[in-house]
Amino acid sequence: MKDILTELNDRREAARLGGGQKRLDAQHGRGKLTARERIDLLVDEGSFEEFDMFVTHRCTDFGMEKQKPAGDGVVTGWGTINGRMVYVFSQDFTVLGGSVSATHAMKICKIMDMAMQNGAPVIGINDSGGARIQEGVDSLAGYGEVFQRNIMASGVVPQISVIMGPCAGGAVYSPAMTDFIFMVKDSSYMFVTGPDVVKTVTNEVVTAEELGGASTHTKKSSVADAAFENDVEALAEVRRLVDFLPLNNREKPPVRPFFDEPGRVEASLDTLVPDNPNTPYDMKELILKLADEGDFYEIQEEFAKNIITGFIRLEGRTVGVVANQPMVLAGVLDIDSSRKAARFVRFCDAFEIPILTLIDVPGFLPGTTQEYRGVIKHGAKLLFAYGEATVPKVTVITRKAYGGAYVVMSSKHLRSDFNYAWPTAEIAVMGAKGATEIIHRADLDDAEKTAEHVADYEDRFANPFVAAERGFIDEVIQPRSTRKRVSRAFASLRNKKQQMPWKKHDNIPL
């Protein structure tokens, strides 16, 4: 018995060393943690239970039978984050570059299957050189199996990808299908084809960082949701995100103790909207003053800044927030902001997270660039996302709500449950000047008459009362009481049940 236990301990020690001490030191030298160190930081201390520590690959080509490291380049298992179960896989770059073999993929598939079976999130830490070339099509088949699990788990359990090294070629499509992607600045990158291939095919000279680094994917492509300075900060933020999310699509989001009065009055909100309708203000100030303890977890902060998405808590319960940002492009909707918000709304709807929409939108961004790139279809994504969402939806219009953008942004016509407006709200087909130029075209040469028409239009339509008379606005509320009214609205909707007509699936305009 003693001999077996000694062998067990020896095997475990060898498996924990991964590719050996020299490669572990090299990993640290690049400013990166090892696969096991990352898991230790991610989950609660002492909670991680590992699977398949002794699994090895089965390849016998190209001399691979002579090197069979235990674990085959990925550490898999489950643990807890603040006492709530999560499944984790962490690729080990020190073992054959973290390359994916058939057995490596099998280990990942195993924990993804268990996550779906037991209803817990999957967190994947990616640090891999890609497919293991020596295994050929077996490696590609492994990727395909992982992709299929990503598709099956989508909308069933939250999936979070953390890119902490290279993620190239076909490997990028697994994170791309997950709900959230986090990257680490200067040490992680994602691309389908690398700089060398790009240069060969297109003659473009580009670095890995420029092509697929954290800055590129958070600011330009929107592939990643956030980027952090180092591994430690990224893993801490993943823990914080998991605290906002339900474990699966059959559970409500977690409820945590709160120390903020739901009826708290914020007198400063009465003066948040400037007197001049063209003067911008920071919508994040409103979000922070509505949230419990001012805690706001923003998603895709660096991309499409004219719309804000993220999570807050009201009375200790998670709420998804979508808000126009007047500080950027006056808060207009465009292609990027529509895509960003639509994806966020659909995530919230999939996991029973109520949605709060804060509106100050002058319309869609005009111009040939937007039209040529398909703003019609991209704008329709946000319209579709709000219209199909059956979770509690509360809307607050702070200032402008013009034209089609008013309808798109969770209006009463898209089955929003509570639609509030501040006294400063303006709900109309368009702004007074543009409307006057169309309605009173004959008087355009007369400046005095035009000014009268503009003033008349503003008096009649630049307010929330016409919409309130039609029942499109449920109540015109005082800005200072917004937290109280929104909290009570969501509290009244906790048992909401709403269903869409039966269908295999919808056909959102992709």
Q: Which residues are catalytic?
A: 169-170, 404-405
Distance CA 81, CA 97 (A): 28
Beta bridge partners of 190: 167
Residue 401's H or E segment, with its range, is strand 393-402
**Cβ atoms of 333 and 307 closer than 8 Å:** yes
SS (H, E, C) 2-67: HHHHHHHHHHHHHHHCCCCHHHHHHHHHCCCCCHHHHHHHHCCCCCCEEECCCCCCCCCHHHHHHC
Record the tokens describing residue 139, joined without a space: 């490696």
**Cβ atoms of 347 and 241 closer than 8 Å:** no
Distance CA 389, CA 294 (A): 26
Q: Which residue has the tokens 């005009």?
A: 366
Q: Which long-range contacts (CB under 8 A, 24 or more apart) does 200-205 make?
A: none
Distance linking the first and last C-alpha atoms of the chain: 61
Distance CA 223, CA 229 (A): 18
Distance CA 12, CA 2 (A): 15
Distance CA 382, CA 392 (A): 17
Record the tokens describing residue 221, joined without a space: 């492509």
Distance CA 475, CA 71 (A): 60
Look up residue 365 and give its DSSP letter.
Answer: P
Distance CA 19, CA 70 (A): 9
Measured in residues, the chain has a length of 510
In 3D space, the residue among 346, 341, 290 whose CA is nearest the CA of residue 487 turns out to be 290
Beta bridge partners of 228: 184
For every residue of 94-126, DSSP letters joined together read TTGGG-B-HHHHHHHHHHHHHHHHHT--EEEEE
Phi-psi region of 18 (alpha: psi -120 to 50; beta: other; left: phi over 0): left
Distance CA 243, CA 154 (A): 19
